[in-house]
Each structure stands twice: as structure tokens, then as C-alpha cells.
Structure 1
Amino acid sequence: MISITEWQKIGMGTTGFGIFFILFGVLLYFDSVLLAFGNLLFLTGLSFIIGLRKTFSFFFQRHKLKGTSFFLGGVVIVLLRWPLLGMLLETYGFFNLFKGFFPVAFGFLGNAFNIPFLSSLFRRLQGTSSMV
């Protein structure tokens, strides 16, 4: 079994609250205060979960700089009270940052669920790109 430190437990809670506030801010017609608070909690929680050094090295890899700039630029724009534009930039940056992870996730979901329609849909979405 994997042991989880106390800091990682705090990070999981902080990240969960961050996601909650982001979703709640979107539901309340892009409330800039909730979105900004959610963004800050999400990034803080991510730092607690994987550590500051790993967080920094993840975001600032050479091939991920475009996604990082859009994601962090969107966070800054949300903090400057332009929530719709900021969330659009964040979404584009998020998909650029995690585009290598999506085929793995879809492949896992396709194998985990033996529902005929969903497994064929997930296999089609999985594609052939790799994480590296």
C-alpha cells in the first residue's frame, strides 16, 4: 500500500476545494472571485501533493511551455477580473499540458468498463499518441 504524508493529505483537500470553487464559480456565471480562489487553491494543492520542485519541473519543461504560458496567463487574467477570457485561456493551456495523459486515461477507461458503446468510444478517443 502506498503511504501518504500529511502534506499530501492537506494537498488533496486543498486541490479538492480548488476544483469545487472553480466549478462553483463557473456555475455562478463565471464569478471572478470564486474562480480566482479556486485557481489559487488548486495550484497550492498541486504543490503540496507532488512537491514544489516537481511542480516547477512539470510546468516548465521545454515542450510544455506553450501550455504553461496559457494556463498561468489565464490564472493571471482571472485574477485581474476577466473571468471568461481567463478560463478560456486556462482550458486551452490545460489541454496542452495534459495532452499526453488523455490517451492513457481513455485507454484505462475503455478497459475498465466493458460497456460496448463506451469501450469502443474510448478506444477511438485513445488514439496512438504516447505520453513521452
Structure 2
Amino acid sequence: MQLLSMDDNKKIGLGLVILGLSCYLLGIILFFDRALFLIANLSFLIGMYMFIGLKQTIAFFSKKTNFKGSLVYFGGFAIIVFGFSFIGFCIQMYGLFLLFKTFLPLLYDPICRIPIIGKYFRSDAVKNTINNIAQKGPSV
């Protein structure tokens, strides 16, 4: 039985991305554990490579509109390597926001369908704010 007809590399890549996000969460719960953040970063990047391929991963991080987000993200990774987990994590989250903010409108509808918090996101003000953030381009 196939899972959504994805090939094995994409399944493994998606699993590694999910592992990376889980390690980020565990790293936060365990008081910004440096080792978990390093595992999270490596599995996230390897997962992206396996999910979309090396050429597309490099193209995504080196795209002109994503260049600032890439620098901030990898700068945060370097700060975590040198032992400042909390500061590096905060910088990395800002970098991830810069990299993936154009995907916010795609996440809006599924968030609105969540039973408890969805009603707070259904207002026009929240929808307009998300659209404005996504349309501003590489800088916030």
C-alpha cells in the first residue's frame, strides 16, 4: 500500500523534516538543548534535500528573494553551534519566517478549520494581515 503515491525518497525526506520539527519542539521543552537543535537543523536540511532534491534546495536557499532569510537562518545555526542556543534559536525562527512567509496564505484555511482557535482567525483583519505580510516580499 502506497502512502499518497510518493516515492521512497520523498517519504524519507518528509519523515526527516517532521523529525527535525519534532526535535525543535523537544529542544524548546528541554530548555533550549543545543544537541537537539543541531539534530533538528541537520534532519530538516537533509529532509528538504531528499524531499525536493539538491538542485531545488540550493535554488530555494540562494534565491534572491530568500537570500536575507537564508543568511539569518544559517547565522542562527552558527550561533547554536557556538553554544548560544536561545539566541540562535530566536534568530533561526526569524530566518524561517523570512523564508516561508509567502506560504502563510496557504496555511490560513486549514488553521481556520481548527475547532477551538479557528474562530479567532476567521476575521477579515487577520486575513488581511496575513496577506499583507506574505505580499511584502523579502523584508518585513
TM-score (norm 1): 0.84
Find the counterpart in structure 1 of residue 5 from structure 2: 3
Find the counterpart in structure 2 of residue 57 from structure 1: 59
Is the 1:10–1:48 Cα contact (8 Å) retained in structure 2? yes
Pairing partner for 1:41 from 34, 40, 43:
43
2:40, 2:111 → 1: CA distance? Answer: 31
Greater shift, 72-81 or 40-49, is seen at: 72-81
Q: State the shift of 1:80 in Å.
A: 2.0
Greater shift, 49-58 or 114-123, is seen at: 114-123
Unmatched 5+ residue regions in structure 1? Answer: none
1:96-115 alignment runs, 5 A limit = 96-106=98-108, 108-109=109-110, 112=113
Greater shift, 122-131 or 42-51, is seen at: 122-131
1:120-131 alignment runs, 5 A limit = 120=123, 122-128=126-132, 129-130=134-135
| Inter-CA distance 81–61: structure 2 relative to 1 (3 Å threshold) | same
Unmatched 5+ residue regions in structure 2? Answer: none
Percent identical:
29
Q: What code does the residue aligned with 1:38 have?
A: A
| Inter-CA distance 117–44: structure 2 relative to 1 (3 Å threshold) | same
Greater shift, 20-29 or 118-127, is seen at: 118-127
Aligned: 1:30 with 2:48: no
Q: What code does the residue aligned with 1:70 have?
A: V
Find the counterpart in structure 1 of residue 122 from structure 2: 119
| Inter-CA distance 62–17: structure 2 relative to 1 (3 Å threshold) | same
| Inter-CA distance 77–112: structure 2 relative to 1 (3 Å threshold) | same
Aligned pairs, number: 131
Q: State the shift of 1:63 in Å.
A: 1.6
Is the 2:79–2:88 Cα contact (8 Å) retained in structure 1? yes
Find runs of 4+ consecutive structure 1 residues off by over 2 angstroms: 108-118, 121-132
| Inter-CA distance 122–109: structure 2 relative to 1 (3 Å threshold) | farther
